Amino acid sequence: MNKVAKIFINMPIKTIAKGYSYIVPDQFSYLDIGWRVCVPFGHQYLEGFVVEIAFVENCDGLKEVVAVIDKSAWFNQEMMDTAKWIASYYLCSLGESMRLFIPGKKSISVDLFYEAIALEENGINCCCIYKYLQANGPLNLNCLKKYFPTYDMEKVLERLLSEGKIKKVYKIRSRAKEKFEKFVMINEFCDKDPNIYLKNKPAQLRLVNLMLTKRKLPRKTLMEFSSSVIHALEKDGFIHVVNERVLRDSYKDYHFQMVKKSLNPSQENAIEQVTAKICEKKHDTFLLYGVTGSGKTEVYINIVEKIRKLDKQAIILVPEIALASQMIQRFKENFSNDIVVMHSKLSIEERNDAIERLHNKEVGIVIGARSAVFVPLDDLGVIIIDEEHEVSYKQEERPYYHTREVAKMRTFYSNAILLLGSATPSLESYYKAQCSEYKLLSLPKRVNNSNLPSVHIVDMRNELAKGKRSILSDDLYALIKKTLENKEQIIILLNRRGHSTFVLCRECGHIIKCNHCDVPMVYHFSGILRCHYCDSVKTVPQECPHCYSRYIKYFGTGTQKLEEELYRLFPNASVLRMDRDTTTKKMAYEKILDDFRKEKYQILLGTQMVAKGHDFKNVTAVAILSIDSTINIPDFRAAERGFQLLTQASGRAGRHGNQGNVIVQTYNPCHYAITHAKEHDFISFYHEEMNFRKILNYPPYNQLLKIIIFDMVEEILIKKAEILARKLHLMMKSVKCNIIGPFSANVVKVKDIYKMNILIKSREMGKIKQLLCENELDKRKDITIDVDPMNSL
């Protein structure tokens, strides 16, 4: 009987839907489900995941596993189950869902070496290449070719292999380099008396005395001692130097001090309810609905404390990296170094080291963005999703998973707790809480008895009627002025980066668009036009490419232009801009937010990343300038998005006792998202919005599935989409559903690819997915399927 493993390849390809069988050679007989291995696949060696083990008689034609990647299985049962659930729910292959659990997602590479087999005759009749291998250990082809340039090396090696004199060995070349550091250690068994022996060597004596108290120190902290001092002591047997692996940690030097807050009754009640469930060791989901500044983070901290006391591990998710730093800071204040951070701006090395730390049980808390939900953990106790309503929790590429649902399944399979927190819960989550599927916890008031800010709505139509064209209304100008005079801080939200949002010919109306996408190019500071979809750039044309007129004008205001405008109006104010253009560097977010927290700047201006979750003591004013661009999107979630953005942004003002003031500039002052946000009334907004969802049969009353069809040629795409829609109608005859479309995607063309959508609404999504798979639509290369899409466009 031979041991055979069924293996899924780590590749982002939906067509490799099945696993492949490989023989497990004797040397790897310990291999089991969940291990990562390396296998030959086509002409390459690729990373694969073992999902099944079987013993079979006949393995003709099967290849062998050539290497094992880790020292233990990467996937435990709970992770395997979650990966399988993702594959079946989001219609992707198991390889695609399993690779989500691997940081970096890049496949490993493997080098082939040739090794001499020890022969009894001791190589009397053997050729020089065999002898060379015997003397030098395993070597690869290139190396051998270099030493023996006149040989036809491939032929020789083939002969030696067939004669059984050499064998192939595979070594994994890890892309993530391990980091080593030198340490100086005292020799425990040295019996020389340094005071006598080193009497005339003051530097050496000083170092030995230091080492006698410290025992072990990193070499780099001993820069005052030269290498000769160290060498001499090593030679005399006082100390020795070792090269040890160190695990990287970019957040190691975060300064923190322990702070313990006394909790208010609402916080205590929330913690008590969750704790009761933790003690039962059963899965459950809680929705913590707490207004902005109600102290949700403190609840998270207390729950994680309980979990850590039980020696279980916790994952805390934030919607974007910009918010990680504050969460890390608050958690460090309570858990000091029991934390690792995981997000995509960290290198693969750093992420691997973080996983190693968790694996060693050196730390037990992970803070990270979306992908951190996949961190391998042995003993998951809780997943906390802060700002659970955020769209960034949905991955907008294959597999189109939603972090909340993945977390739900992971905690379910590990008997752990899922805690969702928000001041503006998603309609789905609040609805589930109403139906008792989730347990609702609420924090109805701000801590410190702070009031929620007062919100003033400026009707921009009146400004226009007054003949004003500035992006800043009179009221906003007055608010900024007052805030600056009071030495307080203001946050201004403008959801458009760049300088001018489009460039237009005054003569013929031609708008300069990207050559590859169906969107206008955005003018940036540096005098270039940039496409925000594909990042391609153009220089600004001197004349209109359409009519050759020279009347080229810039329209619309982006963050860069607003920054100029603020400096012009308030020359003494200090303005800090935060958008994608100012945060490309690693730790750039941290720096900007830290500078603002330390009040080095008075105005923080930026895209939506400035609006969420931040807790700045001295911010009393907030302005939201671009809410119309959110509520006018023709998507069924537009009002929800608008309400959330307004409530979250307003929520940054006056969190610490001082009265907050918010200004919203809009051309739609009567829109219900705006009026309810003004009153901080989530419940009324929820009911009004749910009414509308019910009438139109949208989630949470119904499930959605979006089929995206694409092609390089628009005409072909339209034909294909129509054929597909007809096919779908036939296919779904027996299922209760609504098929809408095909219709053009919101942006018709991105990176030279045209897109059209078909939307299916149904309460029987399981059946629909099954039909789609039976008809192999999930495998078609010109289609992607987005289950539970965040937008219908």
Ligand X SMILES: Nc1ncnc2c1ncn2[C@@H]1O[C@H](COP(=O)(O)OP(=O)(O)OP(=O)(O)O)[C@@H](O)[C@H]1O
Q: Cβ atoms within 10 A of the Cβ of 501, count?
A: 19
The footprint of ligand X on this chain (CB under 6 A) covers a number of residues equal to 20
- Give the per-residue contact string, 635-674, with ligand X (x = CB under 6 A; - = no): ----------------x---x-------------------
Please answer whether residues 339 and 329 qualify as being in contact, where contact means their C-beta atoms are separated by less than 8 angstroms: no
Chain residue at closest Cβ approach to ligand X:
295
C-alpha 569/C-alpha 299 separation (Å) is 42
* Least distance to ligand X, CB of residue 590, Å: 17
423 touches, from Zn ion, ligand X, none (C-beta below 5 to 8 Å by class): ligand X
Residue type, 667: Y
Query: Which candidate, 334, 412, 343, places its Cα nearest to that of 380?
Result: 412
Binding to ligand X (CB under 6 A) within 462-501 occurs at none
Where is 593: in which H helix or E strand?
helix 588-597
Cβ-based nearer residue to ligand X, 262 or 542: 262
**Which residue in the set 283, 546, 591, 779 belongs to the binding site for Zn ion (CB under 5 A)?**
546
* CA angle (171 as vertex; 167, 173 as ends), nearest 5: 155
Closest CA to 644 of 458, 326, 389: 389
Vertex 523: Cα angle to 520 and 529 (nearest 5)? 75
Whose Cβ is closer to ligand X: residue 441's or residue 704's?
441
Q: Give the start-end residues of each E strand in 628-736.
A: 661-666, 703-711
User: Over the range 25-36, which residues count as b (16 or more CB within 10 Å of their CB) and which as e?
Assistant: eeebeebebbbb
Q: Which is nearer to Zn ion, 79 or 505 (CB)?
A: 505
In this chain, which stretch among 294-302, 348-356, 580-588, 782-790 interacts with ligand X, using CB under 6 A?
A: 294-302
Residue 460 or 622: which CB sits closer to ligand X? Answer: 622
- Pick the closer one to Zn ion by CB: 423 or 521: 521
Give which of 15, 33, 16 is closest to 24, Cα–Cα. Answer: 33
Query: What minimum distance in Å lies between the beta carbon of 506 and Zn ion?
Result: 8
Segment contacting ligand X (CB under 6 A): 19-27, 287-295, 569-577, 670-678? Answer: 287-295
CB of 422 to ligand X, least distance (A): 7
Q: Which one of Zn ion, ligand X, none is in contact with 537 (Cβ closer than 5 to 8 A by kind)?
A: none
The binder of 647, among ligand X, Zn ion, none, by C-beta within 5 to 8 A per type, is none
* Residue 294 site contact among ligand X, Zn ion, none (CB < 5 to 8 Å, cut-off depends on kind): ligand X
Q: What is the separation of C-alpha 95 from the centre of its chain, rounded to a whole number of angstroms?
A: 19
Intra-chain end-to-end CA distance of the chain, in Å: 55
The edge-to-edge listing of strands for the beta sheet with 313-317 is: 339-342, 365-368, 313-317, 380-386, 417-422, 284-290, 439-443
Among ligand X, Zn ion, none, partner that 510 touches (CB below 5 to 8 angstroms by kind):
Zn ion
Bridge partners of 168? Answer: 114
> Residues 453 to 512: which contact Zn ion by CB under 5 A?
505, 507-508, 510
User: What distance in Å separates the CA atoms of residue 8 and residue 733, rounded to the nearest whole number?
Assistant: 35
Cβ-based nearer residue to Zn ion, 137 or 545: 545
- Give yes or no for a contact between 772 and 92, defined as CB atoms under 8 angstroms apart: no
With beta carbons less than 8 A apart as the criterion, state whether 698 and 761 touch.
yes
CB–CB of 606/578 below 8 Å? yes
**Pair type for strands 313-317 and 284-290:** unpaired
H helices within 177-320, ranges in order? 194-197, 202-214, 227-235, 265-280, 296-309
Q: Of 313 and 424, which has the nearer Cβ to ligand X? A: 424
Closest CB to ligand X among residues 472, 664: 664
Residues with Cβ within 8 Å of residue 245, at least 6 apart in sequence: 178, 179, 180
| 298 binds ligand X, rule: CB under 6 A | yes
- Binders of Zn ion among 516-535, rule CB under 5 A? 516-517, 531, 533-534
Burial grade of 615 (CB within 10 A; 0-12, 13-18, 19 or more): middle
Q: Do 473 and 602 touch, CB atoms closer than 8 A?
A: no
Residue 538 near Zn ion by CB under 5 A: no
Answer positive or negative: Cα dihedral of 239, 241, 246, 249.
positive
- Residues annotated within the binding site for Zn(2+) are 505, 508, 514, 517, 531, 534, 544, 547
Report, in Å, the least distance between residue 322 CB and ligand X: 13
**Shortest Å distance, C-beta 550 to Zn ion:** 9
- Interface with Zn ion in residues 52-111 (CB under 5 A): none
Closest of 343, 298, 176 to residue 245, by C-alpha: 176
Smallest distance from ligand X to CB 619, Å: 11
319 binds ligand X (CB under 6 A): no
359 or 546: CB nearest Zn ion: 546
Per the structure block, which two tokens stand in for 274?
């969750």
Residue 666 partner contact from Zn ion, ligand X, none using kind-dependent CB cut-offs of 5 to 8 Å = none
597 near ligand X, rule: CB under 6 A: no
Q: Which of Zn ion, ligand X, none interacts with 613 (beta carbon under 5 to 8 A by kind)?
A: ligand X
Residue numbers in the known binding site are 505, 508, 514, 517, 531, 534, 544, 547
Q: Please identify which residue in 54, 212, 310, 547 interacts with Zn ion, judged by CB under 5 A.
A: 547
With respect to Zn ion, which residue has the nearer C-beta, 291 or 544? Answer: 544
Pairing mode, strands 737-750 and 502-505: unpaired
Q: Which of residues 325 and 560 has its CB atom nearest to ligand X in the complex?
A: 325
Check whether the bond before 218 is cis (ω within 30° of 0).
Answer: no
Complex with Zn ion: residue 280 or 752, whichever CB lies closer: 752
CA dist., res. 325 & res. 587, Å (int): 9
Report d(CA 764, CA 762) in Å as an integer. 5
552 binds Zn ion (CB under 5 A): no
User: Does residue 606 belong to the site contacting ligand X (CB under 6 A)?
Assistant: no
- Pairing type for strands 552-555 and 489-493 reads unpaired
Q: Which of 364, 613, 642, 699 binds ligand X (CB under 6 A)?
A: 613
Told to check if 447 binds ligand X by CB under 6 A, we report yes
Instruction: Choose, by CB under 5 A, the member of 514, 638, 704, 790 that binds Zn ion.
Output: 514
> What residues have CB less than 8 Å from 504, skipping those under 6 apart?
510, 511, 512, 552, 553, 554, 555
Instruction: Name which of ligand X, Zn ion, none residue 532 binds, using a CB cut-off of 5 to 8 Å depending on partner kind.
Output: none
CB of 594 to ligand X, least distance (A): 16
Decide whether 295 or 364 has the Cβ nearer to ligand X: 295
Of 150-158, 224-232, 292-300, 537-545, the window that binds ligand X (rule: CB under 6 A) is 292-300
Q: Pick from Zn ion, ligand X, none: which does 292 bind, CB < 5 to 8 A by kind?
A: ligand X
Please check whether residue 401 is in contact with residue 90, taking contact to mean a CB–CB distance below 8 angstroms.
yes
Tokens of 453: 């800010």
Binding mask 225-264 for ligand X (x = CB under 6 A): ------------------------------------xxxx
786 binds ligand X (CB under 6 A): no
* Binding positions for Zn ion, rule: CB under 5 A: 505, 507-508, 510, 514, 516-517, 531, 533-534, 544, 546-547, 549
* Binding positions for ligand X, rule: CB under 6 A: 261-264, 267, 290, 292-298, 423, 447-448, 613, 615, 651, 655
